[in-house]
Amino acid sequence: MLVQVKYSQQQKYVKLDEDEGRFDFMQFHENVIERFCLPPDAKVIYKDATGTEVDAEIFSDLVGQGNVVLTLFSDQEFSDFSLSSASETSDSSFSSSASTIILDDVPSKRQRIEDTHDAVSAEQLIEAVLRGKSGGEEVLQEYQTTETLTDAARRKMVNILVAYMIDNHGHRPTKAIREDYARGIVMLFPSLKDPYSKKGYEHFYDAASSTGYISGV
């Protein structure tokens, strides 16, 4: 059986062998880890569309029913946006010719972006927001092509992120939230980093002076 697996912005098929009508959970898990180059000791939990945990005991019976949608929860911390995106993806339609497994980066517990200062998580948040908003893909495509952003593209990016921040954190987001967004921007777009500043992202937001492109939220 070919199982469709989605991880971040990648989507691949993972092969799952059938042995006398049974499907091996560990084989599936190991194949997923290998296909997406995840750490061999990654701690994850699979859940179905109802939020019920799927373990090795029921995996074979569940997958054998076909058209199963599973979400993988990791022990890493990500934003609310990642969590909501995973939920929306779970509801989307996929090919009915094979069971569908959705593998996404979501937190084991709902946790807002202000609770983490993980630069990788901040980078993934910025990318997820841009991919989910009108005009965001154009910004990402421009950077991929030119390895920089024009002033117009930068303004568009800032407007998208500020609008998202207001929608999700209100008109007075904390300094930690704005700093995480600024950090995520220069992680996702390295050429926008200021080599002459201490942290490299103060031109987007400087917590000490409350200045920067995203300071006026």
Q: Is residue 180 part of a domain?
A: yes
| Domain count across the chain | 2
- For residue 189, the model assigns a pLDDT of 94
Distance from C-alpha of 170 to C-alpha of 166, rounded to nearest angstrom: 5
Do 14 and 94 fall within a single domain? yes
Q: Is the pLDDT of residue 6 over 90?
A: no
Sign of CA dihedral 150, 156, 161, 162: positive
| Of the residues 103, 130, 145, the one at which a domain ends | 103
| Of the residues 54, 74, 103, the one at which a domain ends | 103
Strand 69-74 relative to strand 100-103, pairing: parallel
Q: Is residue 27 part of a domain?
A: yes
Percent of the chain with pLDDT over 90: 27
More confident residue, 26 or 139: 139
Q: Is residue 203 part of a domain?
A: no
- For residue 84, the model assigns a pLDDT of 44
Q: Is residue 99 part of a domain?
A: yes
Q: Is residue 200 part of a domain?
A: no
Average confidence (pLDDT) over 103-112: 44
Q: Is residue 62 part of a domain?
A: yes
- For residue 74, the model assigns a pLDDT of 63
- For residue 49, the model assigns a pLDDT of 64
Residue 134: give the domain boundaries. 113-192
| Of the residues 46, 72, 103, the one at which a domain ends | 103
> 111: helix, coil or strand?
coil
Do 153 and 188 fall within a single domain? yes
Q: Is the pLDDT of residue 101 over 60?
A: no
Summarize pLDDT for 151-192 with one digit per residue, the tens.
Answer: 999 999 999 999 998 888 888 888 988 999 999 999 999 999
Q: Is residue 61 part of a domain?
A: yes
